[in-house]
Amino acid sequence: MIRYFTAGESHGPALSAIVEGLPAGVALVEADINDQLARRQQGYGRGGRMKIETDRAEVLSGVRFGKTIGSPIALVIRNRDWENWTTPMAQFEDHATEVQKITIPRPGHADLTGVIKYGFDDIRPVIDRSSARETAARVAAGSLAKAFLRQLGIQIGSYISTIGPAAESATPASLQALLDAGAESLAAEADKSQVRMLDPEAETAAIAAIDQAKADGDTLGGIVEIYITGVPMGLGSYVQHDRRLDSALAAAIMSIQAIKGVEIGPAFDNARKPGSQVHDELFAGGEKGLRRETNRAGGIEGSMSSGQPIHIRAAMKPISSLVSPLRSFDLATLEAVQSRFERSDTCAVPAAGVVAEAVVAPVIANALLEKIGGDHMAEIKERLEAYREALRMRFGG
């Protein structure tokens, strides 16, 4: 089973990740990992931190001659901004008397609940670990799982359909062709846009909305569309709650900072329709083989992959740090005050799509390994092709 852990603070020396369970023989290219990190840093509406950091991952273990060797992979991403934080974030030297404590929590952030839970009298430790800066480590870790899946014909991509009041008016005309080419083609097309949108009119409206929010000292959220193509039928299971594929994918997406809603396919729209307009009819035989003509289930039926593209929609709330502050109070005095501002973005929805791609990759990889097993790539490829061939022999195509 692939699992990973991250460590590090936003203004500490570095972020790190340990990835365990990746099979041996997965071909890795260092530039590919760093390309994913660069994608995460892009997007209209990002803040000043992106001008400081140029994220690059150092691989410290688990890779030899460009291929995984089956042992844990250690990744480190240095924080260039650390040199400005050596005193307030010192690890062993005590500078408590030199550093002003942060005692005003920001509404909507982890600040208040974090200091209460861990018994701090300074919010700084909460800010630095709860920060979405942590997702750089997850993008690096997820890029390894994406590489594993890519070599098995499974691709993951995303685009943005909504930012604040700006939303695409209909499903982009180019979407199906991009999915037919593989979800990474979708991601590449989205990356051409400053806000990762496929609809030019929606892109223009989104940029204007971000500019207005910045002028108002406000922030914007949005909706991310994630697609996974090439997934074979039958990943996941209905027999136990913790083996349900949609449950695992939703949990992974909800683990991303500021994500507050998830649906598989057009789930909320489906909830307003009769079943006859929702469920995907089934066909078999002929050159097309086993198929569905629609995909309102979002690629998952009975908590298992249906063989169609998996479609996940994620709602991201506006960022909690506002230049124009909301009301709060001082933890030290309980006096009512205006909330404080921590350097942040106006809009990070485009980056959330890249993070979402990364966090769903280990979920799909684990579901695949549970289905077919294997410890090295040659073995896994052989088993997956045998499984796909068995489906073709039974249903055509």
Binding site residues, as ranges?
40, 46, 129-131, 257-258, 302, 317-321, 343
- Annotated binding site for FMN: which residue ranges? 129-131, 257-258, 302, 317-321, 343
C-alpha dist (Å) from residue 342 to 81, 127, 323: 15, 9, 8
b/e per residue 155-186 (b: at least 16 CB within 10 A) = bbbbbbbbbbebbbeeebeebeebbeebbbbb
- Type of residue numbered 144: L
- Annotated binding site for NADP(+): which residue ranges? 40, 46
E strands, 21-132, in order: 57-59, 63-64, 67-68, 73-78
Residue 133 is given by DSSP the state G
Using a 10 angstrom Cβ sphere, with 0-12 exposed, 13-18 middle and 19 or more buried, the burial of residue 379 is middle
Contacts of 103 (CB under 8 A, 6+ apart): 121, 122, 123, 330, 331, 332
Handedness of CA 288, 291, 292, 296 (dihedral sign): negative
Strand partners, 156: 228
Whether residue 35 contacts residue 100, with contact meaning beta carbons closer than 8 Å, is answered with no
